[in-house]
């Protein structure tokens, strides 16, 4: 046995023993629903949308929340172990245990008959590889680790954006396709709610009035690193050069993955042009404000395609990323927008923007089976074995129909 896995094995069997004791002592509470995540300190995204819908349909249920962002420090890891004890109790006693990411305690126990463990994966569609699709990649788990921890096991149900991505999730989670349901992604209901979009814009411009009447560029790079161990990266885009090219008519928003550490990317001279936005706004609220999305490999492209606005791709480490993690598709053929690897060509495209959104619309239609803003309702109904309801197939209205930007 490789001794580097010894701490993992000790924690695994400790949690398993505690879980088995809990299962003997406590019954499953038929009306208990637990939402759990290590991505944030507040319930948000898919979990929040499903919670809100479930609470409106079943107000008498007992709702429990294990929402705590992982801290990679030594004390943070000790706290994490203590938090996992709460998790195994919740798994042992909940009728529904609902998660949105990797969740270690789920993989080291044997769920009780009568408990559903539901995965509302945080990413939309299928783009960069994840889960078991990354075995023996530097990003992913080793085969030796999988002998001790069967990651992404024990899911009763998984919900995804459309039929086209089901095979990729089956591969990533090592599960049968008939347990993966293409009923939509709850948080994307936001993009079909005109009032929420307008409220998000009002909220943003109240906090940043200096941005009114400017074109908003949103730069949202993907996570770099492994699991909860993010890399410290520098901004590959030369912010100063981009500011000099675009002038005062644009603002450059930066939003980092929730696991990534904040970086001092913005020099003092560029502070009127560039803003780091990671607090006070959800990523959906920021997307509602953005005129153009710039990213590298982030699955945010699926969400943003619902707004039918331009998406630009900027990366200077594509070959390295292919080796480290890889994609389910040929990256250069797959992306629904132009690709850049240096700042000047990116700035030139923005200055001479051509709004041919044909590829964006097709991309959206390829990866979303339903465009009705009812994903959360459909999923809650399905979880409870109810009719998922009449599905209204329609395209999302154009941005101009949804939002009147300042």
Contact by Cβ (8 Å): 336, 311: yes
- Burial label, 165 (beta-carbon count in 10 A; 0-12, 13-18, 19+): buried
Average pLDDT over residues 314-342: 95
The alpha carbon of residue 322 and the mean position of all alpha carbons in its chain are separated, in whole angstroms, by 20
pLDDT band at 105 (very low <50, low <70, confident <90, very high): very high
pLDDT digits over 119-145, tens only? 999 999 999 999 999 998 888 999 999
In this structure, of 100-104, 202-206, 229-233, 347-351, the range with the lowest mean pLDDT score is: 229-233
Quick one: pLDDT at residue 372?
95
Quick one: pLDDT at residue 389?
65
Ramachandran region, residue 298 (left: φ > 0; alpha: ψ -120 to 50; beta: rest): beta
How many whole angstroms separate alpha carbon 321 and alpha carbon 332?
Answer: 13
Average pLDDT over residues 359-374: 96
How many whole angstroms separate alpha carbon 94 and alpha carbon 115?
Answer: 6
Gyration radius of the chain's alpha carbons: 22
How many whole angstroms separate alpha carbon 132 and alpha carbon 172?
Answer: 4
Q: How far is CA 313 from CA 37, 142, 339, 362, 401, in A?
A: 29, 30, 5, 17, 26
How many whole angstroms separate alpha carbon 45 and alpha carbon 185?
Answer: 9
Residue 342: strand, helix, or coil:
coil
How many whole angstroms separate alpha carbon 291 and alpha carbon 223?
Answer: 22
Pairing of strands 229-230, 225-226: antiparallel
Question: Biggest alpha carbon distance in the chain?
Answer: 67
Quick one: pLDDT at residue 397?
43
Provide the 8-state DSSP code for 324. Answer: H
pLDDT digits over 388-402, tens only? 764 444 344 444 444
Residue 30's closest CA among 97, 95, 117?
A: 95
pLDDT at 406 > cutoff 50: no
Residue 260's closest CA among 287, 239, 231?
A: 231
Phi, psi of 108 (to 5 degrees): -115, 5
The alpha carbon of residue 88 and the mean position of all alpha carbons in its chain are separated, in whole angstroms, by 24
Our CA dihedral for 285, 216, 262, 319, rounded to 10 degrees, sits at: 110
Across 304-324, b (16+ Cβ under 10 Å) vs e yields bbbbbbbbbbbbeebeebeeb
The alpha carbon of residue 294 and the mean position of all alpha carbons in its chain are separated, in whole angstroms, by 17
Instruction: Return the half-sphere exposure (C-beta side, CA atoms, 13 A cut-off) of residue 286.
Output: 22
Average pLDDT over residues 182-189: 98
Residue 98's closest CA among 133, 140, 55?
A: 55
How many whole angstroms separate alpha carbon 251 and alpha carbon 242?
Answer: 10
How many whole angstroms separate alpha carbon 98 and alpha carbon 331?
Answer: 32
Quick one: pLDDT at residue 295?
97
How many whole angstroms separate alpha carbon 406 and alpha carbon 353?
Answer: 20
How many whole angstroms separate alpha carbon 398 and alpha carbon 230?
Answer: 37
Average pLDDT over residues 332-338: 96
Q: How many C-beta neighbours within 10 Å does residue 372 have?
A: 18
Residue 207: strand, helix, or coil:
helix
Q: How far is CA 28 from CA 31, 118, 319, 371, in A?
A: 9, 16, 49, 36
Quick one: pLDDT at residue 402?
47
How many whole angstroms separate alpha carbon 151 and alpha carbon 112?
Answer: 18
Strand partners, 253: 218, 275
pLDDT band at 228 (very low <50, low <70, confident <90, very high): low
Contact by Cβ (8 Å): 46, 186: yes
Residue with more model confidence, 350 or 234: 350
The alpha carbon of residue 285 and the mean position of all alpha carbons in its chain are separated, in whole angstroms, by 14
pLDDT band at 280 (very low <50, low <70, confident <90, very high): confident
- What is the pLDDT of the chain when averaged over all its residues? 91
The alpha carbon of residue 110 and the mean position of all alpha carbons in its chain are separated, in whole angstroms, by 27
- Mind listing the domains of the chain with CATH numbers? 3-188 (3.40.50.11820), 192-366 (3.40.50.12580)
């Amino acid at each position: 046995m490789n001794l580097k896995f010894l701490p993992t094995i000790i924690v695994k069997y400790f949690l398993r023993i505690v879980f088995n004791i809990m299962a003997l002592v406590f019954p499953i509470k038929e009306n208990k629903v637990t939402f759990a995540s290590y991505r944030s300190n507040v319930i948000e995204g898919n979990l929040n949308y499903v919670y809100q819908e479930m609470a409106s349909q079943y107000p008498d249920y007992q709702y429990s929340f294990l929402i705590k962002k992982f801290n990679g420090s030594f004390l943070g890891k000790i706290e994490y172990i203590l938090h996992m004890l709460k998790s195994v109790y919740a798994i042992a006693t909940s009728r529904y245990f609902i998660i949105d990411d990797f969740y270690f305690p789920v993989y080291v126990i044997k769920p009780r008959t009568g408990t559903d463990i539901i995965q509302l994966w945080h990413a939309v569609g299928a783009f960069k590889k994840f889960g078991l699709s990354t075995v023996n990649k530097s990003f992913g788990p080793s085969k030796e680790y999988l002998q001790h921890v069967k990651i992404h096991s024990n899911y009763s149900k998984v919900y995804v954006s459309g039929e086209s991505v089901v095979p990729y999730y089956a591969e990533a989670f090592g599960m049968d396709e008939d347990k993966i349901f293409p009923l939509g992604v709850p948080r994307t209901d936001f993009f079909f709610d005109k009032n929420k979009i307008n409220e998000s814009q009002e909220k943003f411009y109240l906090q940043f009035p200096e941005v009114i009447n400017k074109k908003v560029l949103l730069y949202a790079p993907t996570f770099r690193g492994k699991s909860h161990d993010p890399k410290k990266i520098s901004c590959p885009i030369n912010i100063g050069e981009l500011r000099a090219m675009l002038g005062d008519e644009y603002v450059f928003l930066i939003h980092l993955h929730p696991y990534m550490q904040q970086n001092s990317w913005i020099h003092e001279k560029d502070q009127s042009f560039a803003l780091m936005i990671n607090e006070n706004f959800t990523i959906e609220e920021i997307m509602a404000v953005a005129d153009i999305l710039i990213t590298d490999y982030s699955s945010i492209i699926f969400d943003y395609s619902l707004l039918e606005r331009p998406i630009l791709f900027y990366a200077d480490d594509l070959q390295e990323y292919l080796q480290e993690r890889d994609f389910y598709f040929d990256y250069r053929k797959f992306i629904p927008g132009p690709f850049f690897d240096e700042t000047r060509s990116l700035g030139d495209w923005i200055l001479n923007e051509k709004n041919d959104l044909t590829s964006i619309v097709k991309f959206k239609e390829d990866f979303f089976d339903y465009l009705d803003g009812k994903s959360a309702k459909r999923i809650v109904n399905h979880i409870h074995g109810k009719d998922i309801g009449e599905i209204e197939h329609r395209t999302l209205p154009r941005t101009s129909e949804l939002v009147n930007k300042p």
